[in-house]
């Protein structure tokens, strides 16, 4: 559910260029954060879940601000404190997996070394 909520925010921001996107940029500026768009969680990109969770934690204050504004219709994506704790734990788990190359890459490296021998 957590990544679904974050994905919903990212999708909604991207597709509301006239209302939400300017508000997003203003909120980022208010909190002194650099202007960035939320990344997407892409099933074919092995570390995109880490990217979206890491981004959300770094931009938590802006995400919380945006999801509490009634007129933005983002309340359905609001994360409660327990969900933020889960996000931090998930980030730690996913960070470990980003330290190692994906399994298919390891197999490719091993097999290419074997063929040279």
Q: Where are the domains of the chain?
A: 2-116
Q: Which residue has the tokens 């959300």?
A: 56
Written as six digits, the tokens of 11 are: 């999708």
Share of the chain above pLDDT 90, in %: 57
Q: What pLDDT was estimated at residue 47?
A: 80
Q: Across residues 87-111, what is the average pLDDT?
A: 66
Enumerate residues 6+ apart whose C-beta is below 8 A from 25.
35
Q: What is the mean pLDDT of the chain?
A: 84
Q: Which residue has the higher pLDDT, 87 or 102?
A: 87
Radius of gyration of the chain (CA): 18
pLDDT of residue 102: 57
pLDDT value of position 96: 62
Please give the model's pTM, rounded to 2 decimal places. 0.77
Which residue would you say has higher pLDDT here, 86 or 110?
86
């Amino acid at each position: 559910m957590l990544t679904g909520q974050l994905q919903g925010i990212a999708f909604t921001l991207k597709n509301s260029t006239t209302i939400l996107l300017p508000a997003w940029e203003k909120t980022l500026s208010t909190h002194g954060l650099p202007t960035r768009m939320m990344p997407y969680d892409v099933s074919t990109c092995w570390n995109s879940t880490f990217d979206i969770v890491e981004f959300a934690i770094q931009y938590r204050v802006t995400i919380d601000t945006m999801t509490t504004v009634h007129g933005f219709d983002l309340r359905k994506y609001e994360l409660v404190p327990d969900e933020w704790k889960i996000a931090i734990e998930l980030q730690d788990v996913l960070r470990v997996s980003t330290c190692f190359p994906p399994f298919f890459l390891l197999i490719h490296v091993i097999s290419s070394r074997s063929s040279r021998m």
